[in-house]
C-alpha cells in the first residue's frame, strides 16, 4: 500500500537535495529518498514529509491511570492512539514492535482524519485523547491537528512522551497538551548515551518548559533497571532535579523493567527495590505522590 504523506514542519533544505529535520535533537540529515532515525519522516524530492500522519496503528480506550496519570481526570477513559517510529534507540524498549517499526508497502493501513480521532473519542465517552504507545514527537504534525480537533469537541489532551524534542517544536506542540507523562529513562548523560542512544539535557529542558512555561500538568515515569539506573546517587540526582526545577508535589512513577528487545543483562526489577526507592522518596525526601507500576 502506498501511504499518503503529509508536509512536515520543523526542517530546512541542505545541499544536493538533502533536508535537515529540526524536530528533535538528532537533527537528522536526510538524503533524497531516505528517512530519519525515526523511520517515519522522509525526504521526498527535497521536501520533508511525515509518513505517519493520519495512520495510527494502535487505537485503544484506556483508563487514564494506565498512561500513567494519577492526578489528572481520575477514573476517566482516554482514547489512546499511536503510530510507528521513535527518535530514541532504547535497547530495553518494552514497546519495540511499534517504536522500532516502519510502515510497509505490503500491508494496508486505514487513514484517520484528525477530526475523526476526536469524534471517535467523544462517541465512546472518553474525556481525553492520548498520544501514546510509540513516541508522539515523531508524528508531531498529527498531534497538533488531532489536539485542535479534540479541544473543539471539549476533550482534553494527553502526551505520553520521552520529551526528546527541540524547544522550537515543543513551543508548538506542548501548549496544546493538557497533561503529560514523561518517561525519564535515567539521570545521567552516560546512561542516555549507552542505553538510549540519546542525551539527557534536551529531556530536562523540555520537561521544565512544559511545567514552568506552559504550566501543564506533568507526571514522570522512571523505569528502574537493576544495575543501570538504580544507584542511590542516580535516584537522588533525579529527585534533586524534580524538587528544584519542577516542584516536590510532582507525581512520580517508578516502574518495573523486564528483559526485552536487545537487552537482557539485568534481571527483572525486584519488588523490594521498587519499595526501597518509593520509601526513600516518600519518607526521606518528603515527596508526597510516589507510585509504583508494572508490579502485577
Residue 145 belongs to domain with CATH number: 3.20.20.70
The DSSP line for 233-271 is HHHHHHHHHIIIII-TTS-EEEEE---BTTB-SSPPPPH
**Distance of alpha carbon 95 from alpha carbon 117, whole angstroms:** 22
The whole-number pLDDT of residue 45 equals: 97
Q: Are residues 140 and 22 in the same domain?
A: no
Of residues 15 and 65, more confidence is placed in 65
Of 14, 34, 50, the residue that ends a domain is 50
Q: Are residues 32 and 76 in the same domain?
A: no
Q: Are residues 248 and 215 in the same domain?
A: yes
The per-residue pLDDT for range 3-46, each reduced to its tens digit, is: 999 999 999 999 899 999 999 999 999 999 999 999 999 999 99
Q: Are residues 137 and 218 in the same domain?
A: yes
Q: Are residues 90 and 188 in the same domain?
A: yes
pLDDT at 273 over 90: yes
Q: Are residues 14 and 152 in the same domain?
A: no
Q: Where in the sequence is the domain holding 234, given as residue range(s)?
A: 58-293
Structural domains in the chain (count): 2
Confidence of residue 110 (pLDDT cuts 50, 70, 90): very high
Alpha-carbon dihedral sign for residues 50, 57, 137, 201: negative
Whether 1 is covered by a domain: the verdict is: no
Q: Are residues 79 and 28 in the same domain?
A: no
Q: Are residues 162 and 202 in the same domain?
A: yes
Rg (C-alpha) for the chain, rounded Å, is 19
Q: Are residues 44 and 128 in the same domain?
A: no
Structure-block grid coordinates of residue 66: 494506565
Of 30, 50, 70, the residue that ends a domain is 50
Q: Is 14 helix (H, G, I), strand (E, B) or coil?
A: coil
**Distance of alpha carbon 233 from alpha carbon 87, whole angstroms:** 28
Q: Are residues 131 and 231 in the same domain?
A: yes
Amino acid at each position: 500500500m502506498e501511504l499518503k504523506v503529509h508536509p512536515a514542519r520543523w526542517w530546512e533544505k541542505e545541499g544536493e537535495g538533502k533536508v535537515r529535520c529540526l524536530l528533535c535533537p538528532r537533527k537528522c540529515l536526510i538524503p533524497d529518498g531516505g528517512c530519519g532515525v525515526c523511520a517515519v519522516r522522509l525526504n521526498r524530492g527535497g521536501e520533508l514529509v511525515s509518513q505517519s500522519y493520519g495512520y495510527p496503528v494502535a487505537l485503544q480506550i484506556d483508563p487514564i491511570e494506565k498512561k500513567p496519570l494519577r492526578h489528572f481526570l481520575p477514573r476517566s477513559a482516554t482514547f489512546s492512539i499511536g503510530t510507528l517510529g521513535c527518535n530514541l534507540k532504547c535497547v530495553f524498549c518494552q514497546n519495540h514492535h511499534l517504536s522500532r517499526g516502519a510502515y510497509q508497502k505490503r500491508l494496508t493501513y486505514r487513514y484517520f482524519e484528525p477530526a475523526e480521532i476526536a469524534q471517535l473519542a467523544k462517541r465512546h465517552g472518553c474525556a481525553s485523547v492520548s498520544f501514546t504507545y510509540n513516541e508522539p514527537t515523531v508524528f508531531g504534525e498529527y498531534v497538533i491537528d488531532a489536539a485542535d480537533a479534540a479541544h473543539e469537541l471539549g476533550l482534553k489532551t494527553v502526551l505520553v512522551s520521552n520529551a526528546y524534542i527541540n524547544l522550537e517544536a515543543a513551543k508548538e506542540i506542548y501548549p496544546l497538551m493538557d497533561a503529560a507523562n514523561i518517561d525519564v529513562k535515567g539521570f545521567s548523560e552516560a546512561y542516555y548515551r549507552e542505553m538510549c542512544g540519546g542525551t539527557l539535557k534536551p529531556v530536562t529542558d523540555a520537561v521544565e518548559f512544559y511545567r514552568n512555561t506552559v504550566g501543564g500538568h506533568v507526571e514522570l515515569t522512571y523505569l528502574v533497571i537493576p544495575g543501570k539506573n538504580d544507584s542511590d546517587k542516580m535516584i537522588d540526582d533525579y529527585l534533586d532535579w524534580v524538587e528544584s526545577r519542577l516542584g516536590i508535589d510532582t507525581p512520580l512513577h517508578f516502574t518495573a523493567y523486564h528483559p526485552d528487545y536487545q537487552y537482557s543483562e539485568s534481571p527483572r526489577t525486584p519488588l523490594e527495590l521498587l519499595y526501597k526507592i518509593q520509601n526513600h522518596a516518600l519518607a526521606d525526601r518528603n515527596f508526597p505522590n510516589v507510585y509504583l507500576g508494572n508490579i502485577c
